[in-house]
Structure 1
């Protein structure tokens, strides 16, 4: 019997949780599972990636915070498609999706917590505890996220299972090869980019500039201001660098104003959301993630696999993948001086850069590949679903 799985998320825009949903929907064994994705708001920029694979993506166009009609719409989708498993992602979908799944008597209800959500109020925690009691299993993307929900929310440890995010190693192999070709060595210090790198040409970046990028939503937790402050100090020390801020979000105008105030407009490019991240990696010398909180960021796995050194804050699940000085560099959050020092260290130390890249690739290939994530998740689906069957049907 093929099991019908409904993934519920706000939208399929740029973000780690969104990428997890896409990877799961595409990667499940199609002899055993049929995937459908429901976006509470709009489909988002990356929905066509699923639709090209023949996977249905539904959008509900939810606009209001307390639009309870979304529960009725979700129940209709669940019943029409004979859904066996509902898997929700992020707060809004975890709330509305689990309520609808419970009312529709879906056999298996699973939610994923992608972050240590320190923004939540006591009321959110009460709701989380209530919904957890109606949920068969909660997936945490890192040990730190699990610890947060056990200690701060009061969810039983046995209810939460850690499944690390993963990426497709095969998809990144071509990126690794191209990245190697476009650098004389794997180090920002002596970057000599291929004249064929159209992205650097497109963005008017000269071959001798070190490109440091942040990729993700423009929201306070990501630490973009610290990134800009670090770039200001770096350029003031005579380093020839270009900062790329890739993504969109509510802080965009504020960050552009910060750039203006710091006189960084000639050193920073806001690219907006891009769907060509694999190509973008070929133009980048370092990835920065100076976040104040994280669950388990996909972007660092993608960068590590693509041969791009990572400098990240030691928060959340980041230290579970990066060992400082071995496969990346860790810094304290909200410390732009330390961030600048890490950038400068990579620019100066070619041997360190090479070592980080080699070790990072090996780490991702061994511990954080996409197949592991998919196999663990669909194994959990099967185990819980089979446990719900009458004994005669097992």
Structure 2
């Protein structure tokens, strides 16, 4: 059985974490896997609870390279066939690890690496530059959408070394959520049967919540019978709250902060929204779909691969708040269409984006890489 070592920072809380956990379940029985992370946090604890083979090689800071020798010993002595990195920290470590091991190294492109540190001037200059350099050292690349594959090709990466693996979701996982009214009461939402529109994304510039707030204003000018819920934390929070107040719509917009029980959030809303400038293949679309909630999203990244116009949801151009408002109002006025979209997207996710199909495709990619390496050796 192929043996693969996965490397990830361990501080992950969003899509990368879900991707890893879903992938581990999909690969169970197909590939022997182990994860090494560099921060002991909730990622490690949750992985342990799931029965995943995981270990921490603690780093004092990103520049601490004492883990490199320890990793090379683990890989060489453990007879791994592949090393699979996830994220900028793991990529950086692999840049130095490359010289010490003799197995192929691959990395998953979970996002546009040129935008990952956009909100911090210092981090953007240092970490983006280092990540760009580190990425050049890998033998193969996995992209979570066709759009990201094209992005790498356009930036000069060898197209023969790029593979596509869509995000998947654990369709066997028990979906726990509290009743809609209980969730809204918990978050002190003054609810009297209004139409509920939600967005779940960290509050930073790349998610472009300003477009969401502008769409709220546009929508409420036509129909005040709508409440907007914002799930997430981030540096943009105060600015967005001030924006809602300046538009005099703050009574209809609730900033919930970080929502741990995501399915309770998706169960409470009627429509899911994404306004991102850049995305890969967001899990919030898959998670909302499991509760028959369709998505209205910007046309970016891999999103058009699952949001099919007027079938599983709607797409609008980046920054076009008027189009977003128009779609929200259309679904408010057509609840039968809302129901059909929800049913369609749930069926689509179960058929095409399960943990099983994700694991099968990942194993195929590993096999292709190893077959290619053996061919080159001969």
TM-score where L is the length of structure 2: 0.85
Partner residue in 2 for 1:88: 85
Structure 1 residues 231 and 88 mapped into 2: Cα distance closer, same or farther (>3 Å)? same
Partner residue in 1 for 2:361: 376
The answer to whether 1:216 aligns with 2:210 is: no
Are the counterparts in 1 of residues 298 and 317 from structure 2 also a CA contact under 8 Å?
Answer: yes
Partner residue in 2 for 1:254: 239
Are the counterparts in 2 of residues 12 and 43 from structure 1 also a CA contact under 8 Å?
Answer: no
TM-score where L is the length of structure 1: 0.82
Partner residue in 1 for 2:149: 146
Q: What displacement does 1:4 show?
A: 4.6
Q: What displacement does 1:360 show?
A: 0.8
Partner residue in 2 for 1:366: 351
Are the counterparts in 1 of residues 145 and 165 from structure 2 also a CA contact under 8 Å?
Answer: yes
Distance in 2 separating the partners of 1:143 and 1:277: 27
Partner residue in 1 for 2:46: 49
Distance in 2 separating the partners of 1:162 and 1:4: 18
Distance in 2 separating the partners of 1:362 and 1:386: 35
- Secondary structure, aligned partner of 2:199: strand
Q: What displacement does 1:18 show?
A: 2.2
Distance in 2 separating the partners of 1:323 and 1:256: 32
Q: What displacement does 1:129 show?
A: 7.3
Are the counterparts in 2 of residues 222 and 292 from structure 1 also a CA contact under 8 Å?
Answer: yes
- Secondary structure, aligned partner of 2:69: helix
Q: What displacement does 1:240 show?
A: 2.1
Distance in 2 separating the partners of 1:284 and 1:93: 36
Are the counterparts in 2 of residues 8 and 88 from structure 1 also a CA contact under 8 Å?
Answer: yes
The answer to whether 1:6 aligns with 2:2 is: no
Alignment of 1:66-81 (within 5 A): 67=63, 69=64, 71-80=65-74
Distance in 1 separating the partners of 2:44 and 2:228: 29
> Aligned to 1:109, which of 105, 109, 113?
105
Are the counterparts in 2 of residues 166 and 373 from structure 1 also a CA contact under 8 Å?
Answer: yes
Are the counterparts in 2 of residues 289 and 312 from structure 1 also a CA contact under 8 Å?
Answer: yes
The answer to whether 1:311 aligns with 2:296 is: yes
Any idea what the Cα deviations from partners look like across 1:60-89, whole Å, max 9, x if unmatched?
35546xx2x2x3214314424637232222
Any idea what the Cα deviations from partners look like across 1:184-230, whole Å, max 9, x if unmatched?
xxxxxxxxxx6x74212212332402221111221111121111111
Any idea what the Cα deviations from partners look like across 1:243-264, whole Å, max 9, x if unmatched?
2221222222322222332333
Are the counterparts in 2 of residues 90 and 114 from structure 1 also a CA contact under 8 Å?
Answer: yes
Partner residue in 2 for 1:187: none
The answer to whether 1:285 aligns with 2:279 is: no
Distance in 1 separating the partners of 2:162 and 2:375: 25
Alignment of 1:266-305 (within 5 A): 266-305=251-290
**Gaps (5+ residues) in structure 1?**
183-193
Any idea what the Cα deviations from partners look like across 1:15-50, whole Å, max 9, x if unmatched?
2122112222344225741322414xx444444221
Structure 1 residues 53 and 110 mapped into 2: Cα distance closer, same or farther (>3 Å)? same
Partner residue in 2 for 1:200: 184
Distance in 1 separating the partners of 2:313 and 2:350: 15
Higher mean Cα deviation, 122-131 or 292-301? Answer: 122-131
Are the counterparts in 2 of residues 292 and 315 from structure 1 also a CA contact under 8 Å?
Answer: yes
Higher mean Cα deviation, 299-308 or 52-61? Answer: 52-61
Higher mean Cα deviation, 112-121 or 351-360? Answer: 112-121
Distance in 2 separating the partners of 1:261 and 1:124: 36
Q: What displacement does 1:132 show?
A: 5.0
> Aligned to 1:343, which of 328, 340, 344?
328
Structure 1 residues 281 and 381 mapped into 2: Cα distance closer, same or farther (>3 Å)? same
Partner residue in 2 for 1:186: none
- Secondary structure, aligned partner of 1:380: helix
Distance in 1 separating the partners of 2:266 and 2:71: 38
Distance in 1 separating the partners of 2:18 and 2:69: 25
RMSD: 3.1
Partner residue in 2 for 1:24: 23
Distance in 1 separating the partners of 2:35 and 2:164: 23
Alignment of 1:110-125 (within 5 A): 110-119=106-115
Are the counterparts in 2 of residues 75 and 100 from structure 1 also a CA contact under 8 Å?
Answer: no
Higher mean Cα deviation, 296-305 or 4-13? Answer: 4-13
Distance in 2 separating the partners of 1:353 and 1:345: 9
